[in-house]
Structure 1
Amino acid sequence: MKNSKLLGLALASLSTLTCASFAMTTDIKLGDKGIQVVQAQAAAESTNRSQVRSNLQQNGWDVVWGHNFTEGDWVEGTGAIATSVASESPGPFMKWFDYKLEQNLQKLARNSTQLTTSRLKSIVLQSLKSKRIVQNDQLQLQAGFVTYKRWKRVVYSEPHTYKCKQRLPFGGWTWSVCSTTKTVDKSVPLPNWHQFYVRYRLR
């Protein structure tokens, strides 16, 4: 009964621990010396999202970001582009942007004497078809999606044996096998994420 109460207190204490960059997994062992909490492994997720976004925004590009879609949404996400191209309408693609893309296109049209919102949507569609940057007078525009790589850094302790010398009870020594633990740090790939975007600039 006493050990059960101690175990409950240990679990309550563990639930209050937080870690900003690592998710800890712990083993709780109940033995002769009481409760022992052993750190099993620590893991942190990483992504190249910031670098990818920074590259798209270089050299004066304004970027409008749409929704993320995961590997599980791949068919639905890329299907939006295919539907837009097949139907000659950017509508299915633009649905992934809520109102943000529409607002930006309207702003561009207001600041231009040659481009209307309808013409800008046509340029978006043209970029989706050609998969490249479209030039229209001073405007450059590109529509598509980016891919973010993701991985998990896992750190854990692994048993390790090695050959060692061991003293004999009455003098001298012999070869034996000793054991220790070593820290293993490795990266485990995770499914990629993707995000729609439209970027534009005036040249």
Structure 2
Amino acid sequence: MKTMYKQVEIEISREDIAAQEGIDAVVNAANAELAIGGGVAGAIHRTAGPQLYEECKPLAPIKPGEAVVTKAYKLPNQYVIHCLGPVYGRDKPEDKLLANCYRNALKLAEEHKISSIAFPALSTGAFGYPIKEATEITFNTILAEVPQLNHLQKLKFVLHSEGDLKIYESVFRDLSEKK
């Protein structure tokens, strides 16, 4: 699915987050130590190579809701924006922390004059955030931030499963029609 919202192209697709050609920055669903992990963090670190973790080490640890930026090394992008999403049921208030992930990633994108960014579904894998609730927070936050962005031209949401893709498309349609 591709559409325009305000001045930004929004794309929602099911792909590999570590293979985002033509995108300036990818977002890593990071752990606090910014180390290689499972899921998104594993895919990004494996593809980027060991230099990514070397650059991450002095930036860690980060807290839920925080974001940091690094080079992308062997990824087909310029930057990786690492966000630590909340663990559902443990990190409180998880809705505000999840929203902060997206706000802080967009803030870093603005500071680095990034024109395109790809997000995974933050906190919905091993961190247990229910996908529909997380998606509503994602789009409520993103759609509120887009009007203030000067550099961003494309936002891409890269989902792992067909089920997540359908939820993202449905929630986006519902929320964007109300805004």
Whichever structure has more strand as a proportion of its residues is 1
Instruction: Name whichever structure is richer in helix by fraction.
Output: 2
**Quick check: TM above 0.5?**
no
Q: TM-score, normalised by structure 2?
A: 0.23
